[in-house]
């Protein structure tokens, strides 16, 4: 190595790595580099600041510690807490180059006010009441469940003025009929939302579907939802799946719901109803990233049941998908200002 080349390397090493960034982006990255150690302090969703109200927020990260809707293994009520422990996510998206915390005001506002509840139906009503307050405040919710029953009351609030579209990643369509005396179980939120007029079935796409419950999902087909089984995903490839999703939801307001059991259990064993043969994490990220530019008005990551995963990989994966969804929304918010 020549002296000139070594001098050049040393000069590069002394440069300010943030010199070309916008001030807001610089501030976020400098805080991330100089703040407390990642394992210190109180865990929050995506390491976001903790807030007690919605004032001056663009995006609220919300836990929904509720799993009374499960039909198999319980435990998703502990999902928000587990995902909060995985706060080593972000703050920079290396593909889209989005710094969500530099683009808008984001905070973890704690958990939806459900409380100690032993009744599924009243729990669903409590979640809906909470999300109406979120919408009234003009804030976009990005949530962590909880089982998938929570998405119905969230959509009741977000779709109260007009039905929304949906990109739904899951092993199951979750459009099943009443079961065990209730229609509010985690196998029926999107049937309920369509019947309530808050979800447009013809602007709904369900991706990664598989498993022995197929016979329960006839409502998806009859109502006009687009269903892509995992075999379709493998045959089409991620790019074609993204193109189909964008075609289905169009330009209208769209919600993104990500059930971790859409992934193969090797990536997310900590869930209540795992189904083998699912998406890889890379495929799931590719699909979410392909939604950039859509009118995403909220999203959730659900069905993390951490006690079935001693490695905590499921929570890490959920936090990563939460970050992907948050980046989509943050960019949308910044471009509409």
Q: Rounded to an integer, what distance in angstroms lies between the CA atom of residue 333 and that of residue 54?
A: 16
pLDDT 10s digit of each residue in the chain, 337 long? 899 999 999 988 888 877 777 787 777 777 777 777 777 888 999 999 999 899 999 999 999 999 999 998 999 999 999 999 997 787 889 999 999 999 999 999 999 988 888 889 999 999 999 999 999 999 999 999 999 999 999 999 999 999 999 999 999 999 999 888 889 889 899 999 999 999 999 999 999 999 999 999 999 999 999 999 999 999 999 999 999 999 999 999 999 999 999 999 999 999 999 999 999 999 999 999 999 999 999 999 999 999 999 999 999 999 999 999 999 999 999 988 7
Angle ∠(85,86,87) on CA atoms, nearest 5 = 100
Cβ atoms of 200 and 225 within 8 Å: the answer is no
Q: Is the dihedral of CA 32, 298, 318, 124 positive or negative?
A: positive
Cβ atoms of 277 and 210 within 8 Å: the answer is yes
- What pLDDT is stored for residue 24 in this prediction? 72
Write the DSSP assignment of 65-108 as a string of letters. ---TT-SS---GGGHHHHHHT-----S--TTT---HHHHS-EEE
Torsion (CA) 196, 144, 313, 172 in degrees, nearest 10: 0
User: In this structure, what are the phi and psi dihedrals at residue 20, rounded to the nearest 5 degrees?
Assistant: -95, 5
* Ranges of each domain in the chain: 1-36, 49-335
Write the CA distances from 297 to 12, 30, 176, 265, integer angstroms.
42, 29, 25, 29
- What pLDDT is stored for residue 38 in this prediction? 73
Cβ atoms of 204 and 190 within 8 Å: the answer is yes
User: In this structure, what are the phi and psi dihedrals at residue 28, rounded to the nearest 5 degrees?
Assistant: -65, -45
- What pLDDT is stored for residue 213 in this prediction? 94
- What pLDDT is stored for residue 55 in this prediction? 92
- What pLDDT is stored for residue 184 in this prediction? 87
User: In this structure, what are the phi and psi dihedrals at residue 301, rounded to the nearest 5 degrees?
Assistant: -125, 125
- What pLDDT is stored for residue 314 in this prediction? 98
Over the stretch 92-129, which tens digit does the pLDDT of each residue have?
Answer: 899 999 999 999 999 999 999 888 888 899 999 999 99
Cis peptide before 109 (omega within 30 of 0): no
Structure token digits, residue 313: 């990989």
Query: Going by CATH, does the domain composed of 49-335 fall within 3.40.800.10?
Result: yes
Dihedral class, residue 110 (left if φ above 0, else alpha if ψ from -120 to 50, else beta): left
Adjacent-strand bridge partners of 27: none
């Amino acid at each position: 190595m020549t002296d000139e080349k070594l001098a050049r390397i040393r000069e590069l090493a002394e440069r300010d790595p943030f010199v070309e960034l916008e001030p807001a982006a610089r501030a976020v990255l400098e805080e991330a580099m100089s703040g407390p150690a990642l394992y210190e302090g109180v865990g929050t969703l995506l390491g976001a600041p903790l807030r007690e109200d919605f004032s001056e927020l663009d995006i609220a990260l919300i836990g929904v510690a509720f799993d009374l809707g499960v039909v198999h293994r319980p435990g998703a009520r502990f999902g928000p807490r587990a995902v909060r422990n995985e706060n080593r996510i972000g703050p920079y998206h290396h593909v889209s180059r989005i710094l969500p915390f530099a683009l808008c005001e984001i905070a973890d506002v704690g958990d939806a006010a459900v409380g100690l509840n032993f009744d599924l139906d009243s729990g669903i009503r409590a979640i809906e009441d909470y999300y109406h307050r979120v919408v009234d405040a003009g804030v976009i919710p990005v949530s962590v469940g909880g089982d998938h029953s929570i998405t119905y009351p969230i959509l009741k609030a977000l779709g109260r003025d007009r039905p929304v579209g949906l990109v739904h990643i899951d092993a199951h369509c979750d459009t099943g009929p009443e079961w065990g005396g209730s229609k509010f179980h985690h196998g029926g939120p999107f049937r309920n939302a369509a019947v309530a007029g808050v979800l447009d079935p013809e602007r709904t796409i369900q991706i990664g579907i598989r498993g022995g419950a197929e016979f329960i999902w006839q409502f998806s087909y009859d109502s006009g939802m687009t269903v892509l089984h995992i075999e379709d995903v493998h045959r089409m490839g991620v790019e074609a799946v993204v193109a189909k999703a964008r075609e289905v939801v169009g330009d209208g307001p769209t919600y993104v719901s990500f059930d971790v059991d859409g992934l193969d259990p090797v990536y997310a064993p900590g869930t209540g109803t795992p189904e083998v043969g699912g998406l890889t994490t890379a495929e799931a990220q590719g699909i979410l990233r392909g939604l950039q530019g859509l009118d995403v008005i909220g999203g959730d990551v659900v069905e993390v049941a951490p006690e079935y995963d001693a490695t905590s990989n499921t929570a890490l994966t959920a936090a990563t998908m939460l970050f992907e969804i948050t980046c989509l929304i943050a960019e949308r918010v910044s471009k509409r200002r």
